[in-house]
């Protein structure tokens, strides 16, 4: 049975640099895809159906409006039984729905032997779907359609933490005081060490973090919990929230940090993985 890991999309930095006349925001971001995510399975069937399970599956509707179903209908194919195991929190700023849609397209385009839709068609599903197709470290700009794959990043580990409160992206944008912020600093041709990467990222921002905290104050508590762990190089929120992350150069430090947070906050979702 063909399966695909729909990896979490993490914005290591996210600058909001403007707004188009149609209301779409212009972004400048570095995104990575750690080895944690939802899992999709597909099998040949006469009809197109979607089944959802997993720890966060109860909060999703498997009907025609589901992004996975919309992605499947974007392809010219036959029937399929799609199963989505939802391992990532909902409305959490780590691209779960977009990554699921991309995984669906990867699987069904192979099974049905059809072409992957154009960038323009993928963007109709959501601005993050194109970057989720390749699942590699990427400099993403524009509304999400301008993508430049980055050279292989040095090995590092990330701890992802979500307190379980969904954050609505529109509300975060509405709470922003400025939408014409500066772009990212020039990205080096290559980051030679994890410390080089961390130094660069410390000089960048997530322009949505402060308004997201205004909308969902527990995000600040999550950030403090991450910052309190030993040898955390950087803590920040991903996307529009509410998942936050800590970066570590050592697998052991990341593992210990994740365990400490789990002990102190057993109700939170916590993952520790290599990037």
The residues, ordered by sequence, that sit 6+ positions from 126 with a Cβ below 8 Å of its Cβ are 67, 97, 98, 101
Element at 194 (helix H, strand E): helix 194-202
CA distance 137 to 154: 11
* Helical pair 218-227 and 251-264, crossing angle rounded to 10 deg: 140
Active-site annotation holds for 128 = yes
- Residue 236 φ/ψ, nearest 5 degrees: -165, 165
Element at 74 (helix H, strand E): helix 67-74
Of these residues, 4, 28, 100, 128, which one is catalytic?
128
Active-site annotation holds for 121 = no
DSSP category for residue 229: S
The residues, ordered by sequence, that sit 6+ positions from 148 with a Cβ below 8 Å of its Cβ are 138, 139
Bond prior to 231 in cis (omega within 30° of 0): no
Of these residues, 4, 9, 28, 38, which one is catalytic?
9
Nearest to 93 by CA among 193, 223, 257, 264: 223
Q: Is 129 exposed, middle or buried (0-12, 13-18, 19+ CB in 10 A)?
A: buried
Active site residue ranges: 9, 128
């Amino acid at each position: 049975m063909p399966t695909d890991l729909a990896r979490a999309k993490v914005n290591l930095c996210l600058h909001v640099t403007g707004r188009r006349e149609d209301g779409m925001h212009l972004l400048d971001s570095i995104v990575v895809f750690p080895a944690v995510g939802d899992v999709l399975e597909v099998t040949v069937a006469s009809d197109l159906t979607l089944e959802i399970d997993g720890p966060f599956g109860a909060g999703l509707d498997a009907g025609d409006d589901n992004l996975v179903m919309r992605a499947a209908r974007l392809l010219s194919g036959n029937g399929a039984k799609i199963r989505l195991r939802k391992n990532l929190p909902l409305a959490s700023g780590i691209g779960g729905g977009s990554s699921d849609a991309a995984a669906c397209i990867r699987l069904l385009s192979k099974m049905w032997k059809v072409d992957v839709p154009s960038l323009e068609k993928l963007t109709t599903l959501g601005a993050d779907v194109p970057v989720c197709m390749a699942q590699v470290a990427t400099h993403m700009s524009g509304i999400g359609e301008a993508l430049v794959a980055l050279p292989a990043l040095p090995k590092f580990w990330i701890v992802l933490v979500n307190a379980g409160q969904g954050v609505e992206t529109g509300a975060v944008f509405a709470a922003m005081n400025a939408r014409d912020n500066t772009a990212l600093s020039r990205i080096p041709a290559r980051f030679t060490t994890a410390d080089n990467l961390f130094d660069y990222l410390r000089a960048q921002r997530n322009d949505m973090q402060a308004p997201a905290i205004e909308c969902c104050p527990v995000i600040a508590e999550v950030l403090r919990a991450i910052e309190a762990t030993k040898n955390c190089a950087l803590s920040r929120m991903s996307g529009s929230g509410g998942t936050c992350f800590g970066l570590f150069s050592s697998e052991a430090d990341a593992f210990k940090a994740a365990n400490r947070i789990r002990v102190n906050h057993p109700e939170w979702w916590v993952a520790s993985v290599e990037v």
